[in-house]
Amino acid sequence: MIKLVNALKAWKTPSFESVLKDEIQNIDVMLLPLQEGLSLSSHVSGSDISAVILKVTETPGFIRAKTGIFYAGINAGSCCADDPTPLCEQTEYCEVQFDIDKTTAETTVTLLKD
């Protein structure tokens, strides 16, 4: 479960977006829907991610942040000893929505499809 406690505490302050960005970039990538967002590779590499806050809105119960995520993916080879396929990272991008509960900071993440 993701809890963005610091972002909730910073809500309605000038530092909100930078705090949110920092918290997102420190989430375990396995908790994000990055695998489903791949378009150029076959597996998420596990490298660091970079977040861009695109839009923030508020509902009575949630803070909703549309966010762009830059991350790396790889195309895994056949795992044969003589496989010539190098494991080089490919930059990937997807957009996700973070819904932060305004009372608990529990956060759901949804991949946004085009």
* Residue 61 covered by a domain: yes
Q: Would you say residue 24 has pLDDT above 80?
A: yes
Instruction: Give the model's pLDDT for residue 75.
Output: 82
Beta-carbon contacts of 7 under 8 Å, excluding residues fewer than 6 positions away, are 16, 19, 20, 23, 63, 100, 105
pLDDT digits (tens, 9 = 90+) for 50-77: 999 999 999 999 999 999 999 999 987 6
Q: Would you say residue 114 has pLDDT above 90?
A: no
Question: Of 15, 45, 51, 9, whose CA–CA distance to 30 is shortest?
Answer: 45
What is the number of alpha carbons within 13 Å of residue 74 lying toward its C-beta? 12
* Residue 17 covered by a domain: yes
* Residue 46 covered by a domain: yes
* Residue 80 covered by a domain: no
Separation CA 63–CA 10 (nearest Å): 11
- pLDDT confidence tier of residue 36, bands split at 50, 70 and 90: very high
Q: Would you say residue 79 has pLDDT above 60?
A: no
Q: Which tops the pLDDT comparison, 41 or 95?
A: 95
Q: Would you say residue 103 has pLDDT above 60?
A: yes
Q: Which domain holds residue 99?
A: 2-75+85-112
Domain count, the chain: 1
Averaged pLDDT score across all residues of the chain:
92
Percentage helix, strand, coil for the chain under 3-state DSSP, each rounded to 5: 20, 40, 40
Residue written as token pair 């009575």? 60
Separation CA 91–CA 52 (nearest Å): 15
- Residue 101 carries which side chain, given as an amino acid letter? D
